[in-house]
Amino acid sequence: MPSKALVWFKRDLRTRDHAPLMVAADCDAAAAVFVIEDEWLQSPEFDAQHLDFALASLIPLRESLAARSLPLLVKVGAVLQVFDELRKEFAFTHLLSHEETGQGWTYQRDRNVARWCRARGVIWTEWPQTGVVRALKSRAGWAGKWVARMNVAALDTPQAFAGARLRVDDIPTIKSIGISHHRTLPAAGERAAWDLLGKFLGGGGRDYRRSISSPLTAEQGCSRLSAHLAFGTVSMRSVHQATDVAIATTNDRELAYGLRGFAGRLRWHCHFMQKLEDEPLIEFNNFARAYDGLRETSFSQELFAAWCAGETGYPMVDACMRSLKATGWLNFRMRAMLVSFASYHLWLHWRETGVFLARQFLDFEPGIHWSQMQMQSGTTGINTLRIYSPTKQARDHDPAGLFVGRWVPEFGSPTYSKPIVDEQGAVKSAKEKLYALRARPDSKREASAVQQRHGSRKSGLPPGGKRARRPVADAENLQLKLF
């Protein structure tokens, strides 16, 4: 029976290191589709900038695939309805895609797609594209599994397809969909991702370790690849392998030092995503259920509104929030400070603040986002309480007030807001509540269970935690052949 494949693009908007495309290239006929899903547009974490970046990435992707005779359709609607309509024109026998660790609605959607495929005799095959391991039974050895997967030789772009003859409409715009945003987005697409990576590995990462903490230096010192990894315009494996090569071949000791710091964070990227994969409900529920009710009944809409507006009376907090809302990006330490301030100083629940921040981050990655929201809020039960003093952060990372001056020009004038809470009193109250809860026997027992399921481990790594420097072509069977 002739094989007809449909490649379903989601958050993997690239041609390189793309297993579904490699399989489609061996099929008798193939097509590809990206669906602007109703559930995505209606989800509380969605912002128009997310779609705008995806659409900008789809333009060069469609051109690259068209040059290889593979049509890429871009549809708006519910996935199952799109698949039903598409099968009338192209009776695909195989659905090919990457695994996704996303929000709750994507999990339910995938279950519905699986049922749809079974009912129609369509064979759906998924491949991993990060270090996240589906159906992981134990965190023991996870680090080794990550290394093995990342060291599999990255796949080349297929050269040609037996493309189906389908009508290909223009790619929609956010305006045609009826939404808008005010930000100026960075360059999108696969080439932009590789250009960024090349500049960072070629010298831009030299001061990475020293520059990542301050919002003044992080803008230039970070790789700025986070949005590209979130939308999959470059694969985690490609970034890992290119970084290893750069470390091994450079004669610049400072650059190698900076890149080793970056390389370590690539594993942490997947480590946090694995938490959501293993326990999808952490998007909505506390990691440690002993913390249920801790903040829910005392949520202040007034304090929340001031935090969202960047009008808390704490200049570093306000500058970071305003910068984030204007640009869609903020360095990690300042993100952590925003969450810490909301969670401890303002005693706000992480779910509401997390939804707001998800809309601000262009690089919103659900697994990292919800894991970090809970970790920085103190509800995992296992992590050290990280309570950032906005006064100290300003002194340490903006001593001359340049960042604050840029984003809070009214600071120091009578028009600037007064502090909405007393810093010392708020922190003292938060610590008393949390440490009292942590001391309870039931909290300690639950913390042990959380650590067992989600805690970081180095087991499985080579001696000394070192990673292999050369890709191993057969380290994992990617199951590229369907027949």
pLDDT, residue 467, reads 47
Sheet holding 72-77, edge to edge: 72-77, 29-37, 4-9, 94-98, 123-127
d(CA 159, CA 265): 33
Task: Summarize the confidence of residues 182-211 as an average pLDDT.
Answer: 97
What pLDDT score does 456 carry?
Answer: 78
* Per-residue pLDDT at 8: 98
Percentage of the chain modeled with pLDDT above 70 = 94
- Residue found under tokens 């400072």: 254
Give the integer Cα–Cα distance in Å for 177 and 170: 13
Q: Which bin fits 262, alpha (ψ -120 to 50), beta or left (φ > 0)?
A: alpha
Taking alpha carbons only, the member of 357, 388, 383 closest to residue 286 is 383
DSSP codes, 90-105? ---SEEEEE-----HH
**pLDDT tens profile 307-359:** 999 999 999 999 999 999 999 999 999 999 999 999 999 999 999 999 999 99
Mean pLDDT of the chain: 93
Beta partners for residue 59, in sequence order: none
pLDDT in tens, 124-170: 999 999 999 999 999 999 999 999 999 999 999 999 999 999 999 99
- Helix 332-340 to helix 390-397 angle (10° resolution) is 160
Domains and CATH numbers, the chain: 4-127 (3.40.50.620), 130-156+191-278 (1.25.40.80), 283-454 (1.10.579.10)
The predicted structure's pLDDT at residue 461: 55
How much is the pTM?
0.93
pLDDT value of residue 383 = 83
Residue entry with tokens 């925003």: 338
Average pLDDT over residues 272-280: 96
Q: Tell me the mean pLDDT in the region 12-31.
A: 98
Digit-coded pLDDT (tens) for 367-414:
999 999 999 999 998 888 999 999 999 999 999 999 999 999 999 999
CB atoms within 10 A of CB 431: 14
- Residue 249: is its pLDDT beyond 60? yes
